[in-house]
Structure 1
Amino acid sequence: MDVIVIGGGIVGVATAYQLRAAGHRVCVLERHATVAQGATYGHGGIVLPTPLDAWFGPAFLDARRGARSGVVYRPGLHSSARRFARQLALMQTSEAFRRQWLRLRPLVDLSREAIASIEAGFHLEFEQREGILQVMRDQREWDQAQCALELLREFEMHHHVLSAAQCADIEHSLPAEPPFAGGVLFERERTANCPLFTKLVKQVLDEQGEVQFLFGRAVDAIRLEGHRAAVELAPAEGERVRKREVDVMSCDAVVVAAGTGSVALLEQLGLPLPLHAVRMLSLTAPIAYEECAPHLTVVDSVRRVSMTRMNQRIRVAGAAVLQPERETAKPLPEPLAEAGTALLAQATHDWIPGAAKISAAHAWEGLRLLSPDGLPVVGATAHPRLFVNVGHGPAGWGLACGSAKVVADLISGAAPLVPPETLAALRVDRFAS
C-alpha cells in the first residue's frame, strides 16, 4: 500500500519505519526543513515512562496548584485550559490511576521491544544512558506516590526504594542539605537523545528505500474517498500558486502524526478531539563543574522536572505551561517564560547544585498534545483510510515506537500486539461516549 504519514517528528518517523518494515511504500510530509524540529527537538530524554512518570494519577499534583506541581498554570476565565485541568484531575484517584496504567502498560512493553529491535538491528548510538533516580522532597510527596509504588511492586518492575542517605551515596550530586524524603532508583530505565534517534532512524529509512521524505510541505486538508485518500499540500515557501491550483497527493491510507497540527486537520473531517496543547520548556546548559555533574538522570518526581547529562551538557526539562488554546498559537509571554525558566533553574539548584551553568543555557519551548485521560490517541477511525497517532504527551518519547507498531499492524490488517483493552483505551472515538 501507498501510505502518507503527516509529521516528521519521532511519532511520524517511527510510524514510517514500522510501515516500511511491514512492506508498505511511505511518504512522510513535514513542514520543517528536516525531521525532529518540533516537539521532538527539546525532549528531556526519558525513554519510557514508569508509573512515577505518568501525567495522570495521585503522583501528578493538580495543575491548579501551580509551580508546586511543576505547572505554570494560567488558564484564563472559563477557558479550555480550566476544563482540561478539571478533567485531568479526575485521573488522580488511586482507582482511576491504576485503571489507566493497566491500559497503558502493554504499550510501554511493546515500545520497549520495538526500540530494542531498532537499536540492535542497526547498532544505533543515540546517547543512551542507564539509571534514573526519582527524588521526593517530603512525606506528602511519598504519600502521593504510594499508588505508583504499589504498581511497581505488583508488576515486579525493577526498582529500589531508597532513603535520602542512600540516594546521596549512589548519586554524589545530590546535596545533603536541606534534607529530603528519599527516592526510587530505576537502574535499567534509560534516557537518550530523542532528536538524534529520530534522525538516525530517518537515515536508516533513506538507506533502505521505499520511504520518501518531503520537507517544507505543510498539509492544508485531507480528502477521504471510498477506496483512496489524498492530502492537499500548502504551497512550498516562495512558491507561486495560481487560483484553483492545488497540489494533491493520493494514497491508500493516511496517518495523522503531526503533533499539535493534527487537531485542526481532524476537525475538518468531523473528528474533534479534546486534546490540549501543553507548552513544555527545557534548558540545555554546559556543565559548570564536572565534580557536580550527575551520572544518573535525576527527576523531581512531583514537579516532573528531569535533569539529564548529555555528554558535556545538562538538559533540564519540564515546566509545563498550561494556557487557553487560543494562547498557544502566540509567542509565550515573557512573564510566563520567566516563570517556567525559574522553575527549571530552581530544580537544578535544589537537586544538582553546581552542575549546570544556567546563565549560559540554551532555552527551548515546544507544544505537546496531552489527552484528558493521560493516554495517547492511536488507531483506526470510522473511515478505513484514515489512522491517527497523536497525544503521547511529555512522558516518554519511546511510546511513539510502540504506537507506530500498532498503527502499522492495523493498516496491514494484522492483529496489534496489545490486548483489546489497551487498543480500546487508545481508540480515537473513546471521547464520544
Structure 2
Amino acid sequence: MDVIVIGGGIAGIATAYQLRAAGHRVCVIERHATVAQGATYGHSGVVLPTPLDVWFGPTFLRHGRQSSGGVISKAGWRGQAHAFTKRLGALHGSEAFEARYALLRPLIDSAQAELDDIDGRFQLEYEQRDGLLYLVRGNDEWSLTQPALELLRQFETPHHALSPAECVAFDAAIPADPPFAGGVRFENGRVANCPLFVKLLKQVLDTQGGVQFVTGREVTAIRVESQRAAVDLAPQPNEAGRSRDVDVMSADAVVVAAGAQTPHLLAPFGLKLPAYPLRMHTLNSPVAHEECVPHGTIVDAGKRIVITRMNHRLRISGAAVLLREKEVDEALPESVTEDALALLGEASRDWAPGAARISAALAWEGVKLLSADGLPAVGNVGHPRLFVNAGHGPAGWALALGSAKLIAQQVSNSAPDLPAETIQALWPGRD
C-alpha cells in the first residue's frame, strides 16, 4: 500500500519505519525544513516512562496544587483546563492508577522490544546512556510514590529505593542539604538524544529506499474516500511571488502523527482527541563546573523535571503550561515563560548546584499532547483509511516505536501484538 504519514517528529518517523518494515511505500510530510524540529527537538531524553513519571496518578497535580506537579498556571486557568485536570484527578487513587498503568505497560514493553531491535540492526549512536535517579523532596511526596513503587515490584522492574544518605553516597553531586525524602534508582533506565535518534532513523530509511520525504510543506486538509485517501498541501509561492495552486497527494491511507497539530487536522471529521496541549520548556546550559555535574540523569519526581548531560551541555526539561487548543500557535505571556524557566533553574540549583551556567542557557519551548487518561491516541479512527499516532505525552519518546508497530499492523490488516484491552484503551475516538 501507499501510505502518507503527516509529521516528521519521533511519532512520524517511527511510523514510517514500521510501515516500511511491513512492506508499504511511505511518504512523510513535514512542515518544517527537516525532521525532528517540533516538540521532538526539546525532549527531555527519558526513553521510556516508569510509574514515577507517567503524567497521571497519585503525584500529578495532587490536591489541585498545579505548581507542586511542575505545571505552571496561567491567569484565568479554568474551563477546559479545569475539566481536563479533573479527569486526570480521577486517576489519583491507587486502584485507578494501577489499572491505567497496567494498560500502558504492554505498549512500554513493545516499545522497548522495537528499540532493542533497531539497536541490534543498525548500531546507531544517539548519545544513549543508562541510569536514572528519581529524587523525592518531602515525606508527603514520598508517601504518594508508594503506589508507583508497588507497581515496580508487581511488574518486576529492577529498581532500588534509596534513603537520602544513599542517594548522596551514590552521586556526590547531590546536596544533602536541604533535606529530602529519598530516591529511586533505575540502573537500566535509559536516556538518549531523541532528535538525533530521529535523524539517524531517517538516514536508515533514506538508505533502504521506499520512503519519500516532503519537507517544508504543511498539510491543510485530509480527504478520505472509499477507495483512496489524499491530503492538501498549502500552496507555495512561485518565482514571481504569487501562490501556486494547492498541491494534492493521494495514497491508500493516511496516518496523522503531527503532534500538537493533530487535533486541528482531525477536527473536520468530528473527532475530538482525548488530549490536551502542554507547552513544555527546556534549558540547554553550558556546564559551569564539571565536578558538580551529576554522574547520571536526575528526575525531580514531584515536579517532573529532568536534568541530564547531553554531550557538553546540561539539559533541564519540564515546566509544563496547560493551553487551550486555540493557543497552540500563540506565544505565552512573558511572565508565564519567566515562571516556567525559573522553575527549571530552581530544580537545577536544588539537585545539581554549580553544575549549570543558567545565565548562558538557551531556552526552548514546544507543545506536546497529554491525554486525559494518561494513554496516547493510537489506531484507526473515523474512516478505514485514516489512522492516528499522537498524544504520547512528555515522558518516554520511545513509546512512539511501540504505537507505530500497532499502526503498521492495523494498516496491514495483520493481528496486533498488543492485548485487545490495551488496543481499545488507546483508541483515538474514546471519550
TM-score by length of 2: 0.97
> Aligned residue for 1:240?
242
Match of 1:311 in 2: 311
Shift in Å at residue 274 of structure 1? 3.5
Q: Which letter does structure 1 place at the counterpart of 2:257?
A: A
Q: How does 1:239-318 map to 2 (within 5 A)?
A: 240-241=242-243, 245-318=245-318
Distance 1:37 1:250, change over 3 A: same
| Counterpart secondary structure, 2:65 | helix
List per-residue Cα deviations over 1:155-186 (Å, max 9, x = no partner): 11000000011111111110011111110000
Distance of aligned partners of 1:214 and 1:82 in 2 relative to their CA distance in 1, 3 Å threshold: same
* 1:55-74 deviations in Å (ceiling 9; x for gaps): 00002233841322111012
**Contact conserved, 2:236 with 2:243, CA < 8 A, in 1?**
no
- Is residue 2:65 matched to residue 1:70? no
Question: Secondary structure of the residue that 2:105 maps to in structure 1?
Answer: helix
Q: Distance in 2 between matches of 1:360 and 1:237?
A: 38
User: What whole-Å deviation, never above 9, does each CA across 1:265-299 have from its counterpart, x for those lacking one?
Assistant: 11112212242110000101011100011111000
For 2:361 and 2:382, the matched residues in 1 are separated by: 46
Deviation of residue 236 (structure 1)? 2.9
Partners in 1 of 2:274 and 2:397 — Cα distance? Answer: 21
> Which residue of structure 1 aligns with residue 132 of structure 2?
132
| Corresponding letter in the other structure for 1:327 | E
User: Structure 1 247/386 Cα, relative in aligned 2: closer, same or farther at 3 Å?
Assistant: same
4+ aligned runs moved over 4 Å, structure 1: none
Tell me which residue corresponds to 1:335. Answer: 335
Deviations 1:356-398 (A, max 9, x none): 1111101000000111111100011241101110100101101
- Specify the alignment match of 1:18 in structure 2: 18
% identity of equivalent residues: 58
TM-score of the pair, normalised by structure 1: 0.97
Superposed displacement of residue 132, structure 1: 0.2
Who is 2:4 aligned against? 4
Give yes or no for contact 2:297–2:309 (8 Å, CA) kept in 1.
yes
Residue equivalent to 2:388: 388
Aligned-partner residue type, residue 242 of structure 2:
R
5 Å matches for 1:73-84?
Answer: 73-74=73-74, 76=76, 78-84=78-84
Q: Tell me the equivalent position of 1:98.
A: 98
Give, as a single letter, the amino acid of the residue that structure 1 aligns with 2:355: A
**1:235-261, CA deviations, whole angstroms, 9 ceiling, x for partnerless residues?**
13666335xx43111100000000111
Q: Point out where structure 2 has 5 or more consecutive residues left out of the alignment.
A: none
Q: Check whether the contact 2:269–2:382 (CA below 8 A) recurs between aligned residues.
A: no
Please say which of residues 360-369 and 377-386 is displaced more in the overlay. Answer: 377-386
The separation in 2 between residues aligned to 1:36 and 1:64, in whole angstroms, is 34
Q: Distance in 1 between matches of 2:66 and 2:271?
A: 32
- Residues 351 and 78 of structure 1: is their aligned pair in 2 closer, same or farther, counting only changes over 3 Å? closer
Pairing 1:398-417 to 2, within 5 Å after superposition: 398-417=398-417
- Amino acid across the alignment from 2:387: F
Q: Which structure 2 residues correspond to residues 132-281 of structure 1 after superposition, within 5 A? A: 132-236=132-236, 240-241=242-243, 245-281=245-281
Q: 1:77 to 1:131 in 2, by over 3 A?
A: closer
Q: Counterparts of 1:39-50 in structure 2 under 5 Å?
A: 39-50=39-50
C-alpha separation between the residues in 1 aligned to 2:182 and 2:300?
Answer: 11
The alignment covers a number of residue pairs equal to: 429
> Structure 1 residues 179, 357: CA separation in 2 closer, same or farther (over 3 Å shift)?
same
Aligned to 1:85: 85
Alignment of 1:116-127 (within 5 A): 116-127=116-127
Q: Is the 8 A contact 1:279 1:365 kept in 2?
A: yes
Using the alignment, how far apart are the partners of 1:182 and 1:402 within structure 2?
32
* Residue 332 of structure 1: how far off its partner (Å): 1.3
User: Aligned ranges for residues 102-113 of structure 1 at < 5 Å?
Assistant: 102-113=102-113
Q: Output one character per residue of 1:205-244: Cα deviation in whole Å (capped at 9) or x when no partner.
A: 00000000000111111111001101111113666335xx
Structure 1: 5+ residue stretches without partners: none
In 1, are the aligned partners of 2:299 and 2:307 still within 8 Å (CA)? Answer: yes
Superposed CA RMSD: 1.3
Deviates more, 1:184-193 or 1:72-81: 72-81
User: Residues 270 and 326 of structure 1: is their aligned pair in 2 closer, same or farther, counting only changes over 3 Å?
Assistant: closer
Distance 2:16 2:374 in 1: 24
